[in-house]
Amino acid sequence: MAQNALPLALTCGLAGFRDRLMDRVNQTRAASRMCARVLYPATALVNWDPRLFNVAARHSVDMSSHDYFSHTGSDGGTVANRLADAGYLWGTYGENIAAGQTSIDQVMRDLLNSPGHCAIVMKQTVTEVGVACVANHMSAYKMYWSMTFARPAQALGVAN
């Protein structure tokens, strides 16, 4: 595997997964956006974080292998639990999940058309992101996406 390459099983086999997703997320954040009736100003770009990718991958694997769709893990854990398990000391975070979309364009369109998901993409206090997509064609939704945004606690001067 090339340096910095992501496992295909955690990217739904989509070519250029990380670069294409980062382009879409940061293009979105670079411009003001209406999420429902709230105007979110343009905000700073986010960086890819491998720990957040692992958090997102863990949740997408869990949803696809247990054939469910929820922010709560099959073990009852939350995104905060998954961040702690990954050793990520967060100051703030947000999680978007999606299921059934077959492309990066489709998942971003659907997230941005949902007020709550759109607000997380535009959240000014996050600085890092990790996104994973896991396919299981024997499951209800076929493709399970997790997008974990966060900012480390030390960056905010707080501990969780």
- What is the b/e burial string over 110-131, where b = at least 16 CB atoms within 10 angstroms of the residue's CB? bbbeeeebbbbbbbeebbbbbb
| Rounded Cα distance, 120 and 143, in Å | 21
Residue ranges of domains in the chain: 11-36+45-156
Q: pTM (2 decimals)?
A: 0.92
- The string of pLDDT tens digits covering residues 32-64 is 999 999 999 999 999 999 999 999 999 999 999
**Mean pLDDT value across residues 19-24:** 97
Share of the chain above pLDDT 90, in %: 90
Classified by CATH at the fold level, domain 11-36+45-156 comes out as: Pathogenesis-related Protein p14a (3.40.33)
Q: What is the DSSP letter of 11?
A: B
State yes or no: pLDDT of 111 exceeds 80.
yes
